Amino acid sequence: MRTLMLFMSIASLAAGAVAAQAGIEIERSVYIERAERDGNRIVRALEPAYELRRGDSVVLMLNWSAAGRSDSFTVSSRVPRDLAYQRSGGHEPEVSIDGGKSWGHLTKLRTGSRKASPEDVTHLRWQVSNAQAALGRGVFSYSAIVR
């Protein structure tokens, strides 16, 4: 029951966490990353997340579409509390470690007397340039560990 509630919590938070302007649609999905040994190599695969357990490695994808739009915009997402952010795929986001009050690159942020770590991240945001917006669609992703 805990795993089902955890998945529903993450799915609903991910769904409500994206901020986008008018004319921009966001489709969200959550996948579990599986790693299996095949001889001497490790094969990684993503599977749709139906059930999550503590320690699972997950990938959250935000597919955006903005048909007919050519000006830049920002896509932001709150990292659900049940997840510990690890890294972003492809596009480096700005991050917040204080609930979205301030933003920066993770390497430059501090929490108290120490450098911020990926697990401190509470929010992510990506800038979509004019050129990217003119393409009409794109995807942002990040990986996390279920706490």
pLDDT in tens, 69-126: 889 999 999 999 999 999 998 888 999 999 999 999 999 999 999 999 999 999 999 9
Contact 83, 10 (CB under 8 A): yes
Please report how many Cα atoms fall inside a 13 Å half-sphere around the Cα of residue 82, on the Cβ side.
Answer: 21
Report how far residue 140's alpha carbon sits from residue 96's, in angstroms, rounded to the nearest whole number.
Answer: 17
Alpha carbon 104 to its chain's center: 16
Buried/exposed code over 76-89 (b: 16+ C-beta within 10 A; e: otherwise): bbbbbebbbbeebe
Looking at residue 17, what is its pLDDT?
43
Q: What was the pLDDT predicted at 90? A: 80
SS3 125: strand
- Averaged pLDDT for residues 14-35: 75
Res 10: pLDDT? 59
Q: Which residue has the higher pLDDT, 14 or 128?
A: 128
β 123-128/73-78 pair status: antiparallel
Please report the pLDDT score of residue 31 as a whole number: 97
pLDDT tier at 15, thresholds 50, 70, 90: very low
